[in-house]
Every structure is written in C-alpha cells, then in structure tokens.
Amino acid sequence: MDYVAAVLIAYLLGSIPVSLLVARRHGVDLRATGDGNPGAWNALEQLGRRRAWPAFAGDGLKGALAAAAGLALGDVWTAYAAVAAAMLGHAFPLFAGLRGGKAVMTFVGGGLVLSPLAGALAAAVVLVGWLAARSFAVGARAGVFASPLLQLLVDPVERVAATGGLMCIVGALFAWRGRSARARSARGAARTR
C-alpha cells in the first residue's frame, strides 16, 4: 500500500506543468516555440536565465517532493518508485493533456533527495563543467551523466542500479520525443511542398 500511495502522490506532483505555467506567465507557449518541449530547458532557451529559473526549480522540486513522500511513506525503494512516477507524471502530465517534457530536472530533484552526497558531488561537476566549457548545458550534462558514477562512491550498488533505471526513463523519453519531433517536422515539410 505504501508504494501505491507514494506513486499516486508522485504522479500527481509530476503532472503539475511548472515550466508551461512559468512560460505562460511571460506570454510564451513552450509547445509552440523552440523545440516544442514543455520543460525547463526549452523555458531557458525561450525566456532566458532570469525568467526561467522558476521552471528549473519547480521541475526539480517535483522530483524532490516525490522522493521525500516515498521516504515518508515507506523506504528508499518506495522513494525510487515515487521518483519514477513523478518523472512519468512530468512526461505524461494529467493536468496538461498528457503532453509533457523529458523529466531531466525531475530526475535531478529526486536524485538530490535519494542520494544527497552524490547529488552534491554532481553539483560540483556541473559547476566545474560550466566554468570550464563556459556553457551551463555542458556542465549540466556532465553532472547528470556523472551522478551514477559518483553515487558508486557513497551508496550500495543496488541503489546505483536503481538510479540507472531512472536515467533509462530519461533516455527513453529523449528517444521517443526525438522520434515524435522528427515526425512533426516531416509532416510540416510535406505540407509546405
């Protein structure tokens, strides 16, 4: 029963379309601009850092609250299930017509609660990568991809494998959203002929 309650709460948290709401506040429809993805990265590209930071914080907070709810209702495995549900809620939001984002920031927020020390180390990687490449995107990617390796230093391998499972959800969403974007682009090109 703990899993069911945690997953339901987490899915509903994930379904809150924070980035869409933040962008709408600034008169931007993320689904009609940039890559059409209603997530924090598209908000950053369309709104700039100063106006997009609430989208990043909100999408991350969904994962963090989901993990906290899972821990409160059960154990670390309940928390992992809750983060997965929040990520799926972000990708297929009940409150936004099941058209959501790729769940990267929701994964990051959940990861910070599931493994705070590894999360802190990953944040350091983000900062170093950002400063070295002078690109936040490069630093963020480095931090996300380094997180399971850093987690190996502080957590049991079973939890690292579970983090890998969460990353597989992100990878599947990128592949699926990329396929959908290519199909939309092809349909648009066919209409203009």
Report pLDDT digits (tens) over 129-154.
999 998 888 888 899 889 999 999 99
Determine, yes or no, domain membership for 38.
yes
Question: With contact defined as beta carbons under 8 Å apart, do 43 and 32 qualify?
Answer: no
Task: Examine residue 39 and state whether it is found in any structural domain, yes or no.
Answer: yes
What pLDDT band is residue 75 in, cutting at 50, 70 and 90? very high
pLDDT at 155 over 90: yes
Distance between terminal CA atoms of the chain?
A: 55
pTM of the complete model:
0.87
Select from 154, 179, 151 the least CA-distant residue to 165: 151
- Answer whether residue 94 is part of any domain: yes
Show the domain range for 15. Answer: 2-113
Start-end of H helices in the chain: 2-14, 18-25, 40-47, 49-73, 76-91, 104-114, 116-133, 136-151, 157-192
Is 167 domain-assigned? no
Q: Give residue 76's pLDDT band: very low, low, confident or very high (50, 70, 90).
A: very high
pLDDT band of 37, cuts 50, 70, 90: confident
- Backbone angles phi and psi of 34, in degrees to 5: 60, -130
What is the Cα gyration radius of the chain?
Answer: 17
141 within a domain of the structure (yes/no):
no
Number of domains in the chain: 1
**Rounded to whole angstroms, how far apart are CA atoms 53 and 45?**
11
180 within a domain of the structure (yes/no)? no
Does 159 map to a domain? Answer: no
Position 64 in a domain: yes
Helix axes 157-192, 76-91, angle to 10 degrees: 0
